[in-house]
Chains A and B, each alone.
Chain A
Amino acid sequence: MAFLEVKGLKAFYRQIEAIHGLDFSLEEGSITTILGANGAGKTTTLRAICRMIRTEGEIRFDGQDVTGMATEKVVQLGIAHVPEGRGTFVRQSVEENLQLGAYTRKSKTEIAADIERVYDYFPRLRERQKQQAGTLSGGEQQMLAIGRALMLRPRLMLLDEPSFGLAPLIVQEIYGIMRRIRESEGTTMLLVEQNANIALNLADHAYLLETGNVVMSGESQVIRDDENVRRSYLGY
């Protein structure tokens, strides 16, 4: 059985069905990306895994059915979600945001050590640790969102468009750090992106989503070399 197994997943905003029977799976230690245009259902898929919307179908994490769980229970299983819009606690300090990421953990010494580790990945956050998180730039808030997710010591990280609204140089920097995180922590990641190019560079596997359906899937390398994908998603 795969680490995360999704079968026949439908998701609803009120009465409207936003994804129509999605099947996908990912292996422990891998990075998988879900690509697609605006409105394809990428964010919805991540929200479904975290039980933030009503769904039908099967979602199994490490063999365990999560569909009946509350969001905070899913988090306790070790699924950290870096949400769309970054979900910053704007009035809290950078450090408090990181502490909140470790809310489900107990050991104070381990939490303190992990905060240092996050600062090592993102030195800019260390410089701003006492600052109100709402005053950070977009790129810094994205770093904070990833740092906050790391504080869970996640077994699976869900990342919703970490490149969104950021300057290309900042995107490069953030993806560089994500690569380092993967190398040193071996964290499993499910990455949703509109920026197909950069996501395919990082990911092992990719799924292509169009209006709530998987239209193509495979190794990132294969997807990247596909003629049609290149024309419609990569733009060259």
Chain B
Amino acid sequence: MDLFFQLTLAGLAIGSIYACVALAVVMIYQATDHFNFAQGEMAMFSTFICWTFLGLGLPVWVAAVLAIGTSFIAGLIIERVIIKPVENAPVLNQIIVFIGLLMIFNNVAGWIWEFTIKPFPSLFPDDFGFKSELIGPHHMGVIALTLTVLLLIFLFFRFTRVGLAMRAAAANPDSARLVGISVGWMLALGWGLAAAVGAVGGILVAPIVYLEPNMMSGVLLYAFAGALLGGVSSPGGAVLGGLIVGVLENWLGQYVPGGSELKLTFALILIVGVLLFKPAGLFGRVVIKRV
């Protein structure tokens, strides 16, 4: 029974990282109707920036906060400089821009920091003052920190003036302009926030998967699976979806013979399955578009 709880808690920890990336993906999806395929690579790049700050001798928390801040500004700039010009371009052009960003970030990271695998320190101490047989200190810290971050984001969107304006701009840009909201800046802010949340995910997953330019490819796939499972129209759903995928992944690896080899396949099966049988996801709305 202990093994089951261990697996579940570790699954929740990794799932909360998927949840961060899934939320970043959904935030941008809500505003643009597209998946940002580069979300994972942006998070990887943020983690490398954090690593660079660490190399300068900064304490790990300072480096993390600076890297997250840098990511926020970078996300904002990416929207203004690269995404805004293709805002009204055909869907295919936009998707190509996203894929282009993915490859650029991947290659530039390899060029600057090399493709060798690097160990990355945990933000959390080895000992919180108490030990648990069921969950390690890093996983414990991951769950606590991601839940805090997700809660703060929820409060921001739910209760602040700018949060409300961002929701309004994503849902109904014309009406948003008519009440005086600068829709373009709200979209840029959304990209900044998504990049920052993604960075949190990257920094938390790096101690587990090690730091290298391809470290997010698996994570992004699970995050997509989580976002789709929860429902791309529902930020809360995407977070729950990420958690569910993390737990299922761990159970699969332990209880299904050969399951540990099939983890990525499982994510893809989940993606295809949701798209085929429940495109709106578990918590999403069915979106009807007038054409």
Binding site for B on A (CB under 8 A): 50, 52, 70-72, 75-76, 80-81, 83, 87-92, 96, 99-101, 103-104, 148, 152
Q: Given the complex, which residues of A lie within 8 Å of B178, measured CB to CB?
A: 50, 71, 75, 80-81, 83, 87
A-B pairs with lowest CB-CB distance, top 7? A87-B175, A75-B180, A104-B180, A71-B177, A81-B178, A72-B180, A103-B179
Contact, CB under 8 Å: B179 / A100: yes
Query: Known contacts being A72-B181, A75-B180, A76-B180, is A100 close to B168, with CB within 8 Å?
Result: yes
Query: In the complex, what distance in Å separates the CA atom of A91 from the CA atom of B172?
Result: 10
Query: In the complex, what distance in Å separates the CA atom of A231 from the CA atom of B161?
Result: 50
Tell me whether B254 is interfacial, beta carbon within 8 Å. no
Contact, CB under 8 Å: A75 / B174: no
Contact, CB under 8 Å: B177 / A75: yes
Known: A92-B168, A96-B164. 11 other contacts (CB 8 A): A50-B178, A71-B177, A72-B177, A72-B182, A72-B183, A75-B178, A80-B178, A87-B172, A89-B171, A92-B167, A100-B179
Q: Given the complex, which residues of B lie within 8 Å of A96, measured CB to CB?
A: 164
Q: Write 7 A-B pairs (CB below 8 A) sorted by A numbering.
A: A71-B177, A72-B180, A75-B177, A80-B178, A91-B171, A99-B161, A104-B179
Q: Given the complex, which residues of B lie within 8 Å of A71, measured CB to CB?
A: 177-178
Query: In the complex, what distance in Å separates the CA atom of A208 from the CA atom of B222?
Result: 60
Query: Known contacts being A50-B178, A72-B177, A75-B180, is A103 close to B161, with CB within 8 Å?
Result: yes
A152 in complex: contacting residue of B168, B179, B181, B182, CB < 8 Å? B179
Tell me whether B165 is interfacial, beta carbon within 8 Å. yes
Q: Smallest CB–CB gap between B142 and chain A, Å?
A: 31
Contact, CB under 8 Å: A90 / B164: no
Q: Smallest CB–CB gap between A89 and chain B, Å?
A: 5
Count residues on chain B whose CB falls below 8 Å from chain A CBs. 17
Within 8 A of A (CB), among B170-195: 171-172, 174-183
Contact, CB under 8 Å: A92 / B174: no
Interface string of B227-252 (1 = CB under 8 A from A): 00000000000000000000000000
Contact, CB under 8 Å: B179 / A83: no
Query: In the complex, what distance in Å separates the CA atom of A101 from the CA atom of B175?
Result: 10
Q: Smallest CB–CB gap between A46 and chain B, Å?
A: 10
Query: Known contacts being A89-B168, A92-B168, is A83 close to B180, with CB within 8 Å?
Result: no
Query: In the complex, what distance in Å separates the CA atom of A83 from the CA atom of B179?
Result: 11
B174 in complex: contacting residue of A87, A99, A152, CB < 8 Å? A87
Q: Smallest CB–CB gap between A68 and chain B, Å?
A: 16
Q: A76's closest neighbor in chain B, by CB?
A: B180
Query: In the complex, what distance in Å separates the CA atom of A76 from the CA atom of B179?
Result: 9
Q: Given the complex, which residues of B lie within 8 Å of A91, measured CB to CB?
A: 167, 171
Q: Smallest CB–CB gap between B109 and chain A, Å?
A: 37
Q: A151's closest neighbor in chain B, by CB?
A: B179
Contact, CB under 8 Å: B174 / A52: yes
Query: In the complex, what distance in Å separates the CA atom of A80 from the CA atom of B174?
Result: 13
Query: In the complex, what distance in Å separates the CA atom of A193 from the CA atom of B256?
Result: 67
